Amino acid sequence: MEKTYIFGHKNPDTDSITSSLVMANLETKLGRNVESCALGTPNKETEYVLNYLGIEAPRVLGENEVPDGSNVILVDHNNPEETISNIDKVNVLKVVDHHCLKLSTSYPLYYRAEPVGCTETVMYKLYKENGVEIDKKNATLMLSAIISDTLLFKSPTCTPEDVEIAKELSKIAGIDCESYGLEMLKAGTDLSSFTIDEILSLDAKQVSLKDVKTVINQVNTASIPDVMELKEKLEAGMTEQIESKGLDLFMLLITDIVNSNSQVIALGKRADLVEKSYGVKLENNTALLKGVVSRKKQVIPVMTENA
Ligand code: MN
Ligand code: MN
């Protein structure tokens, strides 16, 4: 039986890596030949989770490593811009996701997306629906992703279902969400080993806000002032990218995971869009966006509306 590749989005986060592993386990249990893969190496938060469990990261697929005509399963994404470059030449068997629908195919496929806080919340239901038992390892993987995507249930993307399922998973995993979750999130905020360019691409998404070509990069921290110490260097790196990529706007969101606010640094000829969208005044290119933690719910739609 031909192998099916399972992977999450580029620049993988904890949800993309764990969903690939958890989906591969489910498919294997159901008798299918699959491989858990990734479109990048795990970030430090995800490394914390993998080390906690003592397991290996999924194999990283290089450019053009998935041959045309292969079978693939996409998790935690469906946007052609965030996946393999030959997505239109492979056979997408399934999608399990919680993002806006961007994919279009000329053939039918299994498509499961729900407006919940995390792909793993949908995964949990798939295990239940298929009567597959969730063991401690997979419960820990799922729970970690829910905590990551919802910032410990504080993000506006978090739904009552995410909270309820996380509660069930914490019982199976034998994990206290608060203490484990905070340690895991904090592990993801350690920027000490990164260059400025790496910090600027850690969780960067290029999006078009109507016709405003924008990069929105989000960096989690437990201390905004610590990251702001790098402001001048970050701005120099952002300016370089604006020039090389022809961007209208580069937004760096420095998100305080403890107090649920974001400090924004905005550069580019359309930085005014940030002021207009949030009713703030940028001083030295920066402003505090109170209560803003979710790029998906509180940034992209708000900025698009005002663009
Ligand atoms: Mn993701
Ligand atoms: Mn996700």
Among all bound ligands, the one having the nearest atom to the CA of 151 is 2
Q: Kindly list the protein residues that place their beta carbon closer than 5 angstroms to ligand 2, a single-atom ion.
A: 15, 76, 119, 149
C-alpha 222 chain-centroid distance: 19
Question: For residue 133, how many other CB atoms are within 10 A of its CB?
Answer: 9
Give the CA dihedral 174, 179, 182, 184, nearest 10 degrees. -40
Coil, strand, or helix at residue 243? helix
**Structure letter (DSSP) for residue 88:** G
Instruction: State the burial class of residue 222 (Cβ atoms within 10 Å of its Cβ: 0-12, 13-18, 19+).
Output: middle
Q: 76: CA distance to ligand 2 center in Å? A: 5
Residue 102's CB: how many other CB atoms inside 10 A? 13
pLDDT of the residue at 64 = 87
Give the pTM: 0.89
Q: Residue 115 in contact with residue 2, Cβ under 8 Å?
A: no
Task: Look at residue 192 in the predicted model and tell me its pLDDT.
Answer: 87
| pLDDT tens digits in sequence order for the chain, 307 residues long | 789 999 999 999 999 999 999 999 999 999 999 999 999 999 999 999 999 999 999 999 998 899 999 999 999 999 999 999 999 999 999 999 999 999 999 999 999 999 999 999 999 999 999 999 999 999 999 999 999 999 999 999 999 999 999 999 999 999 999 999 999 999 999 898 899 999 999 889 889 999 999 999 999 999 999 999 999 999 999 999 999 999 999 999 999 998 999 999 999 999 999 999 999 999 999 999 999 999 999 999 999 999 9
From CA 128, how far away is CA 233, in angstroms rounded? 49
pLDDT at 225: 95
Residue 184: per-residue pLDDT: 96
190-195 contacts, C-beta under 8 A, 24 or more apart: 190/44, 191/219, 191/221, 191/227, 191/230
Ligand closest to CA 99: 2
pLDDT at 88: 97
> How confident is the model at residue 269, as a pLDDT?
97
* DSSP state letter for 87: G
Rounded distance from Cα 119 to ligand 2 centre (Å): 5
Q: Characterize the bridge pairing of strands 4-7 and 71-75.
A: parallel
* pLDDT of 2: 87
Name the amino acid, one letter, at 291. Answer: G
Q: Which two tokens stand for residue 211?
A: 């016709």
CB 293 within 8 A of CB 255: yes
Distance CA 219, CA 262 (A): 9
Q: Do 251 and 214 meet the contact criterion of CB atoms below 8 Å apart?
A: yes
CA 15 to ligand 2 center in whole angstroms: 5
Give residue 15 CA to ligand 1 midpoint distance, Å.
Answer: 5
* Ligand 1 centroid from CA 101, angstroms: 14
Please name each of the domains of the chain with its CATH number: 4-187 (3.90.1640.10), 196-306 (3.10.310.20)
Distance, in Å, from the CA atom of 149 to the CA atom of 155, rounded to the nearest integer, reads 8
pLDDT at 286: 98
Contact 298, 284 (CB under 8 A): no
As a whole number of angstroms, the distance between CA 158 and CA 260 comes to 13
